[in-house]
Amino acid sequence: MLLYEEICARVLEQIRRGTLGPGDRVPSEMELAGEFNVSRITSKRALEVLREAGLVERIRGKGTFVVQQLPDLSEVTMPLRGRVAAPRRAARTIALVVPDVSDSYGLDLMNAIEERCADHETHLIVRRTHGRQADEEKAVDSLVATGEVDGLIVFPVHGDFYNASLLRQVLDGYPVVLVDRHLAGIPVAAVHTDNVAAARALTERLLEQGHEHIAFLSPPPVNTSSIEDRLEGFRSAFAGRGRPYELTDLRSTMPGSTTPEAIRADVGVIRAFRERFPQVTAYFACEYNLARMADRALGGDQVIVCFDSPGDSIGGPPYLHVRQNQREMGRTAVDLLIARLRGQTVPNLSYVPFELVDAEGNG
């Protein structure tokens, strides 16, 4: 039973026993939150569900009270029907919370989500966080607290720790689906590429081409599951052949950190790495913008591969790369969230296909 349902069940039982009678005041959001050790958003949701079930009424400025004319309690079963604000809307509304979108990654994903929402006759709200965890927390809290949406699709930002607001909503049972990344050990539906398998396949292609010394380039991977998984796949590809190298403290491609000074600093770090390890002949960048930076730093002397290379479509050079199926990711995310809203059980992990594409655009 979800946390808000436990509160509903307790209040319903008190009404059945007569502990709470018609016209009696029901504990406030704050009081219920303290009693059950949950967030106020959860207690508010419980009171809204009780109201929709016709058991209580909420009077502005006074509080929540048991209705004077109770329905036949023998007909009231748990879980109570209805969801906060859902009966008041002809169509569902969901929100996409995303760091940002670009031609290199994210635009196709957002377009697919928008199109799939239209298929389901569902409204879509988009909130951009610009890669800032504080803005992500604010967006999640405001969307849920106001009852503006029925569920969330979230593209989590890079971070050294989990977004507390997002984690609280997941644990409270609010409908959430993650895209591109997952939260390790947290039971929440997530849709993304099998980054371990994709990174392994890309690294194996380099080994097959005769590269024995290969370096992995990325921002800090801690608590960013996509980077952690790509690094794991990179390492697993060697299996007794070749030698892996890692440079995982580059920061200028992280959202909100792309400044001329940061780019110059990372270019210098990559050049210093090359001087230290001149035997490296191929560089695996975890994302396209980092591949372009490595290209600039290395002067075109080494082979560079990456994830998501749009190449000439945005005026940049093409690379051998992993092409993620962003459109399938977006469609699947919407389908899973709609299924959650219908009360259906959905898997915690859904992989979408990928393919290796060479610099000429051939799979």
How do the pLDDT tens digits run along the chain, 363 residues long? Answer: 789 999 999 999 999 999 999 999 999 999 999 999 999 999 999 999 998 888 999 888 889 999 888 888 877 888 886 433 333 444 789 999 999 888 778 899 999 999 999 999 999 999 999 888 889 999 999 998 888 899 999 998 876 556 788 888 888 889 999 999 888 778 899 999 999 999 999 999 999 999 999 999 999 988 788 999 999 999 999 988 999 999 999 988 876 677 889 999 999 999 999 999 999 999 999 999 999 999 999 987 899 999 998 754 555 678 999 999 999 999 999 999 999 988 888 999 999 999 999 987 676
Q: Helix count (H) and strand count (E) of the chain?
A: 11, 15
Q: In the structure encoding, which two tokens stand for residue 101, read together?
A: 């979108």
CATH code of residue 100: 3.40.50.2300
Q: Note whether 176 and 263 are same-domain residues.
A: no
Rg (CA), the chain: 25
DSSP states of 167-183 as a string?
HHHHHTT--EEEES---
84 inside domain:
no
Q: Note whether 71 and 99 are same-domain residues.
A: no
Q: Note whether 253 and 311 are same-domain residues.
A: yes
Which residue range forms the structural domain that includes residue 102?
93-193+326-353
Q: In the structure encoding, which two tokens stand for residue 272, read together?
A: 């210093």
360 inside domain:
no
